Amino acid sequence: MILGLLGPEGTFSEKAANKWDLTAELRYFESVSDVVKAVVDEDVDYGVVPIENSLEGSIGMNLDALIEYDVKIAGEVVVPIRHCLLAKGEISEIKAILSHPQALAQCRHSIKNRFGDIEMIEMTSTALAAKRASESKEMAAIASEKSAAKYGLNILLRDLQNQKENYTRFVVIGKIIPEPTSKDKTSIVVYLQKDRPGALYGILGEFASRNINLTKIESRPTKKALGDYLFYIDLEGHVMDEKVQGALKAIEREAGMLRVLGSYPKAE
């Protein structure tokens, strides 16, 4: 099996990929969109994509990619995130801090308290930030402990994230939906098309009346008009379960669009 993921080596996506399948061959890409395209083009069997963080919420552009491309969620992995400050030199030498935008956001308060208004530079991944930081003592990276060993950096600070409890949810994307396991989740996206009183209430009622538990509901702009939204919904159960099928058929009659993003085993 070949898994596509954000590179270079040492990213938290790599940790998620190893947690999902330790035996898989890993193939690294420069961006998440490249990972998704590789799945679509069947250059890899599956891709590993971060979509939600416990501190900063959903990663909008990655959620949007699930709609833009013909892929299915086939699994999920939850990874504890512990950010470290890595550098070649000492704290007193640092003039800029590099990392992925999500990592910078997750450590914003800690950076402010320790470094004031130091320059923060966004990179496409935490591992790439570590690689760049290895080129100069004036640069530091927020990245994983593994990245320190990989790129020959010192760990100056540990647990730099704003709160100690920090988790990122990754989804494994492929071309097909796996068979039910009895411990599954289903992800869908719904477009109401015509906003009317009670429209969303009616859709949610289809789940409530069938005793289907929703684990997440989030709105995202369609990017077509102001106030025009898609609703991303995660629910317990598999798309092949009878009561889930019943709810989706009822919603399909009421909504302008319904798309099943995937049914997959819940993360352990």
Task: Just list the catalytic residues.
Answer: 168, 170
Calpha distance 17→4 (Å, rounded)? 9
Conformation bin of residue 238: beta by default, left when phi > 0, alpha when psi is -120 to 50: beta
User: Residue 152 region, left (φ>0) first, then alpha (ψ -120 to 50), else beta?
Assistant: left
Work out the number of other CB atoms within 10 angstroms of the CB of residue 143. 33
Phi, psi of 66 (to 5 degrees): -70, -25
Half-sphere exposure of 188 (CA within 13 A, CB side): 25
Q: Is the Cα dihedral 231, 232, 234, 238 positive or negative?
A: positive
Structure tokens at 164: 């100690």
